[in-house]
Amino acid sequence: MGKNLFVSACIFFISALGPFFIPAFASEPNALIFKKQPEIQQIKPKKPVKIKLKRLANGTYTWDLTGVDIQEIIRIDRQLREQLK
């Protein structure tokens, strides 16, 4: 009985006095501050180049490249040609 009364009293005092201590912690200079940075919001990830590699009956390879960035498609095509010689 005494232990339950002590726990109940502690909970009451913490809940009653808690709002008085919260503003003191919120005014600390090291508190976290969140800011919006529009330059970060405008960054879009690059879409990858999709490669469909096909092996023909005679043992040679062909491929289909699809993507948005033409320079990236050309670079990957060059790499595939070098690797599959």
Amino acid at 85: K
Q: What average pLDDT does this structure show over 5-23?
A: 69
Q: Under the phi-then-psi rule, with left for phi > 0, alpha for psi from -120 to 50, and beta for the rest, what region is 64? A: beta
Q: How far from chain centre, in Å, is Cα 8?
A: 43
pLDDT at residue 43, as a whole number: 72
Indicate the domain borders of the chain. 2-83
Q: How far apart are CA 48 and CA 82, in angstroms?
A: 20
pLDDT tens digit sequence for 48-71: 999 998 999 998 889 999 999 999
Mean pLDDT of the chain: 79
